[in-house]
Amino acid sequence: MVVGRQDEIATANERHWERMVQEGCGYTVPWLDLDPDVVRAFAEGELNFTPWPLGEMTPRSILADVEGKDVLCLACGGGQQSAVFALLGARVTVIDLAQGQLEGDRRAAAHYGVDIRTIHGDMRDLSMLDDESFDLVYGTAICYVPDARQVYSEVARVLRSGGLYRTDWRQPALHFVAWDGEGYRITRPYSESGNPRNDGAIEFRHYMDDIFNGLIEVGLSIQQVEDISRAVLPNPQASPGSWDHERAYVGGEFVIVARKS
pLDDT value of position 61: 94
pLDDT value of position 155: 98
- What's the CATH code, domain 8-260? 3.40.50.150
Which regions of the chain are under pLDDT 50? 1
Give domain limits for the chain.
Answer: 8-260
Where b means 16+ CB within 10 Å and e means fewer, 237-249 reads: eeeeeeeebbbee
pLDDT value of position 62: 96
The predicted-structure confidence for 34-82, as pLDDT tens digits, reads as follows 999 999 999 999 999 999 999 989 999 999 999 999 999 999 999 999 9
The answer to whether 139 and 214 have CB atoms below 8 angstroms apart is: no
| CB atoms closer than 10 angstroms to residue 181 | 6
Residues 167 and 150: their CA atoms lie apart, in Å, by 14
- pTM of the prediction? 0.94
pLDDT value of position 125: 97
Identify the helix (H) or strand (E) that includes residue 23: helix 8-23
pLDDT value of position 175: 87
